Amino acid sequence: MSAIVVENISKSFGKTKALDNISFNVKRGELFGLIGPDGAGKTTLFRLLTTLYTPDSGRASVDGFDIVNQYRSIRERVGYMPGQFSLYQDLTVEENLNFFAALFDSNLKNSYDLIAPIYRQIEPFKNRKAGKLSGGMKQKLALSCALIHHPSILFLDEPTTGVDAVSRNEFWDMLSDLKNRGITILVSTPYMDEASRCNRIALCNEGRIMRIDTPDNIVATFDSALYAIKADNMYQLLLSARNQPGITNCYPFGETHHLVVDNNFDIDSFKTAHADIKGFDIMPMRPTIEDMFIKLMRQ
Amino acid sequence: MRQLYILIQKEFIQIFRNPLLPKLIIIFPIMVMLVMPWVTTMDVRNVGVTIIDEDCSSLSRHIISDIRAAEYFSLNDNVKTHNEALTLLEDCKVDAIVLIPRHFERDLLSQDPQKLDISANAVNATKGMLGSQYLILTIGSTLSNYNNHLTAAKTSDLIVIQNRFNPTLNYRHLMIPALMIMLLILICGFLSAINIVSEKENGTIEQINVTPIGKVTFILAKLIPFWFIGLFVVSIAMIVAWAVYDLSPTGSLGSIYLATILFILGFSGFGVSVANLSDNIQQTMFVMFFFIIIFVLLSGLLTPISSMPEWAQNFTTILPPRYYIDIMRAVYLKGSTIADLWPNFVALGVFVIVFNALAAFTYKKQS
């Protein structure tokens, strides 16, 4: 049985279609990522699955329970970490944990084993008010609170937004640990580089899912050749590269521009055309999730 | 029940950890009781009077000394001419001018007596009217005393006035029981509404909504602390009223507390409904202010309902504060019992049901 089943779900707010006929399954014990930019409908989907919203059409179940009719059972067994820090800022770390544990008829001691790897890092600050924690610590506290009642499914809405690169890495390590303990995790992120840490990902944009597969398979379906180009004047390079024959797309990508080409592309004539541009260089590139995402968005 | 206890415990931790709230809960009732009864008075005092005495008779000196002796007036002696006095009236330096005409005493008992002239500044209608009424009473008694020298009949002794329930006509005694409602409106309605909506604004309600906590439990946990704080605050106010103004309820404390509990239950339900329907603190504040103005002006707190136009009187029947103020004044001053005031208690009970049903109906965990 799948942990999460979503079938043809749609949800609109006024004229805005936040989710447009979405379907996917998350297997038990899977770390499933929703990858997409802001406004893709990720948060709406989380709110639907955590029973805060009801869908306009379609149906969905979480841990075998229908999100509309059996929402009470779902609330007993899911952990939710909203995108915005939503614990009580004027309660201490320990008070927040005890409070949320008590709401589920549990206590900190019962859940200590599960949350220990995460909680131990903030335990020295347990008497500090949650509002006074740093961003990374807040995130660890929020994850601890979401885990306090031994949920079978975790919903994490952009947990790494606004967190530094080191903490983000640590956070994904924690998620892998939790996954190994058998907890199903649905996580969303706007960072494409985090996608490779998931078992499977769904690329979403504007309320639709463009593709669902493992990160490797998604990259493997990128069927064009890809180059990275750079020069001293990057903007000039971008303009001139786009005018060359055989170019499907050229876009800024970190320190370089990525160049997606078709069969008409001839690397030698491209090099000749840019020979007089200062610092020009071109090298073949392995496609990333982001390249795939940009490609899918253009279709 | 355990969940309710946990939630209430959390509320109390948050309230006492708030830098402002605990102080407010103590200071607020004391301030309202110490300051408001003095400033919300309709007694007119310190009416500035100037007297132009063109008669200079023994009668006119009597009138002047009686006005000087009366506690309502402050006399301005330094004016010689009527024109000078009128200028002072225009500049709001005095509130009323008494002009005693020439030969006032001489012609008093003649066929065609001179007329004594009072001009009052009526910009503040109450002060103008009451000021000139006080002057008429004071001068009238001087004149009748003067007449008694000449005639045998003592006209002033024919009327006896007895002020029942508030023998000294003390306006503060009317205001104090009613002012307690201000405390309840602000603490049980306003604060609890802001408390709930701030959970929305901080996003904490989202975390609560995905827990198995029922909506009734959540709302109750929000309100119960404010119910207790409301009762506490009214008790402080009653102690201050007793200690400072020597005013204690003539009727039973039981009926006061029953009315207070009913009002708190109803009004906090109203606060929750407002909070449910607003998305942020700004909206809540605005809506609550709007209703508080209506409640304060139309509930008979400041002006008697019986002197409002009929449509306004009809409108006040749907305002809960009206019934509470009625009960408080009647129990405090007249010693009325629940049996006397049962329609008011029933009305408060109806509001409890209506507002709390509205609160339960408008609270949504899902959308």
ipTM: 0.80
The CA distance from B329 to B146, in Å, is: 41
**Residues 130-189, chain A, touching B (beta carbon < 8 A):** 145
Q: Say yes or no to pLDDT of A65 above 90.
A: yes
Query: Could you say which of A54, A75, A87 has the minimum Cβ distance to residue B210?
Result: A75
Distance from CA of A98 to the nearest CA of B (A): 9
Instruction: Give the model's confidence band at A100: pLDDT under 50 very low, under 70 low, under 90 confident, else very high.
Output: very high
- Whole-angstrom Cα distance, residue A248 to residue A262? 6
pLDDT at A155: 94
- Tracing tokens 């906590």 back to the chain, one arrives at B213
Q: How high is the pLDDT of residue B152? A: 53
Test mutation, B6, B15, B210, chain A, max A CBs within 10 A: B210
CB–CB of B188/B230 below 8 Å? Answer: yes
Picking from A173, A197, A219, the residue at the C-terminal end of a domain is A219
Nearest by CB: B6 against A51, A103, A145: A103
Residues A124 and A26 in one domain: yes
Q: What is the reported pLDDT for B159?
A: 65
| Partner residues linked to A200 by β-bridges | A32
Q: 């390079």: which residue's tokens?
A: A237
pLDDT-derived band at A263 (thresholds 50, 70, 90) equals confident
A69 shares its domain with A191: yes
For residue A71, the chain B residues in CB contact (below 8 A) are 366
- Interchain proximity B10–A75, CB inside 8 Å: no
Same domain, A151 and A275: no
Q: How many CB atoms lie within 10 A of CB B31?
A: 12
Best A54, A78, A90 residue to mutate vs chain B (most B CBs within 10 Å): A90
User: Does one domain contain both A212 and A232?
Assistant: no
A53 in reach of chain B (CB within 8 A): yes
Verify that A75 and A193 share a domain, yes or no. Answer: yes
Scanning A61-120 for CB atoms below 8 A from B yields 71-72, 75-76, 78, 80, 82, 84-91, 95, 99-100, 102-105
Looking at residue B294, its amino acid is I
Q: What is the CATH number of the domain that holds A169?
A: 3.40.50.300
The answer to whether the CB of B318 falls within 8 A of the CB of B298 is no
What pLDDT, on the 0 to 100 scale, is given for residue A47? 92
Q: How far apart, in whole angstroms, are the C-alpha atoms of residue A75 and residue B166? A: 60
Structural domain total, chain A: 2
Which of A195, A219, A243 is where one domain is finished?
A219
- pLDDT bin (cut points 50, 70, 90) of residue A267 is confident
Tell me how close the Cα of A294 comes to any Cα of chain B, in angstroms. Answer: 33
Q: How confident is the model at residue A141 (pLDDT cuts 50, 70, 90)?
A: very high
* Domain end position, chosen among A219, A248, A280: A219
Same domain, A20 and A136: yes
- Considering the domain architecture, whether residues A109 and A194 belong to the same structural domain is answered as yes
Residue A292's domain comprises: 223-298
* Residue A73 shares a structural domain with residue A129: yes
Q: Cβ of A51 and B210 within 8 Å? A: yes
Q: How do the domains of chain B map onto residue ranges?
A: 2-40+167-362, 47-158
Q: Residue B361, class by beta-carbon neighbours within 10 Å (0-12 exposed, 13-18 middle, 19+ buried)?
A: exposed
Amino acid, res. A195: A
Alpha helices in B18-101 (DSSP H): 21-39, 58-69, 82-90
| A180 plus A238 within the same structural domain | no
Consecutive 10-residue averages of pLDDT for chain B (367 residues): 89 90 89 86 79 86 86 80 84 86 83 84 82 84 77 56 74 86 87 88 88 85 90 93 90 93 92 90 92 88 86 90 92 89 94 90 69
Q: Measuring CA to CA, which residue among A187, A153, A186, A189 is closest to residue A40?
A: A189
A135 and A106 assigned to the same domain: yes
Give A217's Cβ-side CA count (13 Å radius). 10
The shortest CB-CB distance from A102 to any of B6, B202, B209 is to B6
CATH number for the region B47-158 comes to: 3.40.1710.10
Q: Which residues pair with B131 in a beta bridge?
A: none
Which tokens in the block code for residue B189?
């309605």
Is residue A213 a contact partner of residue A199, using CB atoms and an 8 Å limit? Answer: no
Whether residue A266 sits in one domain with residue A147: no
Give yes or no for B144 touching A (CB within 8 A).
no
Select the residue of B6, B202, B365 nearest A99 (Cβ to Cβ): B6
Dig out the tokens for B84 from the structure.
Answer: 């000078």
Tell me what pLDDT residue B158 has. 60
Q: Map tokens 């109450």 to a residue.
A: B126
Say whether B248 sits in a helix, a strand or coil: coil
Q: Which residues of B touch A80 (CB under 8 A)?
A: 206-207, 210
Place of tokens 């006399």: B75
Q: Which of A82, A86, A83, A92 is nearest to A133 (CA)?
A: A92
| Three-class SS state of A119 | helix
B162 CB-near residues (< 8 Å, 6+ apart): none
- Strand (E) positions, chain B? 47-53, 73-76, 96-100, 117-120
Q: What is the mean pLDDT of residues A223-234?
A: 88
Distance of CA B232 to CAs A22, B222, B226, B248, Å?
A: 54, 17, 9, 17
For residue A270, give the CATH number of its domain: 3.30.70.100
Could you tell me which residue, B164 or A231, shows the higher pLDDT?
A: A231
Among residues A75, A73, A83, A76, the alpha carbon closest in space to that of A45 is found at A83
Note the pLDDT of residue A27: 93
Give the residue from chain A lying closest to B210, CA to CA: A75
In this structure, the number of other CB atoms found within 10 A of the CB of residue A253 comes to 17
> Which secondary-structure segment (H or E) carries B4?
helix B2-17
pLDDT for A24 equals 93
B365 reaches A (C-beta below 8 A): yes
Angle ∠(B27,B29,B33) on CA atoms, nearest 5: 115
For residue B270 the two structure tokens come to 């109203």
Q: Which residues in chain B have their CB less than 8 angstroms from residue A72's CB?
A: 212
**A253 lies within 8 A of chain B by CB:** no
Under the banding of pLDDT at 50, 70 and 90, the label for residue A265 is confident
Return the number of CB contacts < 8 Å for A and B: 69
